[in-house]
Amino acid sequence: MKRFKPAVKQPHPISGIELVPSGGGVFDVEVDGQLVYSKFQTGRHAEHEEVLETISRIVR
């Protein structure tokens, strides 16, 4: 597992992001256990803005 600080400096209660390695090209983004993006479901990688906007809506 790897921890790092969010790259975007916006006022929200996220103190960090955790990357959890997986296999088979899986790329999921979860916030508090809630799936907000899945490469497996969409068949593509998310754009950075797409993920950040979704997370921002959740933590407001």
**The overall pTM is greater than 0.85:** no
Q: Tell me the C-alpha distance between 30 and 25, whole Å.
A: 16
Domain ranges of the chain: 33-60
Residue type at position 18: E
Q: Tell me the C-alpha distance between 21 and 53, whole Å.
A: 23
pLDDT in tens, the chain (60 residues): 445 455 555 565 666 666 667 788 778 888 877 888 888 889 998 887 888 888 888 777
Three-class SS of residue 17? strand
